[in-house]
Amino acid sequence: WSTLRSIVLQSLEGLQYLHKQNALHRDLKPHNILAQYASHADDGTLIVKLADFGFCKFFGDSHSVKMTDNFRGTRAYAPPEALCSRQYSEQSDVYSWACCIAQVATGLYPKQHIAAPPPAPLSEFLPYSATDLMQQGLKLHPWFVEIIMQCFTFERKERPTVDQLLAEMIAN
């Protein structure tokens, strides 16, 4: 848990920094979260960095970017709004971040989803289920599973912000 916690905290801090620069990553995936043990430290210090800013967009004061072009990025980690060409916001990055953390924790690749839910239950369109998160890989604590599941909320405005996620992680 301590290694995952370090990845969670440092990747959130990186995302928080990016958002404070009025930028959205728009292509978070495990390959774009780099982790390496510090060569100068004997205490096993893990250093985590975000990478690959090729699809990064600056949003100015609006805190969202209208997606006018075709989808770009990695589909499996993309939030629903990116797939339907709607507004992309900081909470869109939160959705992708949660997919990355869930994959690292469980070893499972995100389930493919579609942009808009049909009449079927919304749970069928989640990239991970709470059961996946509690029973696979690291078998996460229920409070952490709840945090990750909140990040998968279909409506982006209902997802937690990076600041809220960091505060929750620090408190626990």
Q: Residue range 69-96: average pLDDT?
A: 79
The dihedral of CA 79, 81, 82, 84: what is its sign? positive
27 labelled catalytic: yes
At 17, is the pLDDT very low, low, confident or very high (cuts 50, 70, 90)?
Answer: very high
- Cβ neighbour number for residue 70 with a 10 Å cutoff: 6
Q: How far is it, in rounded angstroms, from Cα 62 to Cα 22?
A: 9
Query: Does residue 61 contact residue 48 with C-beta atoms inside 8 Å?
Result: no
Task: Indicate which residue of 27, 43, 52, 61 is catalytic.
Answer: 27
Residue 76's pLDDT is 84
Q: pLDDT band at residue 68, thresholds of 50, 70 and 90? A: very low
- The first and second tokens of residue 39, run together, are 């060569």
User: Is it the case that residue 132 has pLDDT exceeding 70?
Assistant: yes
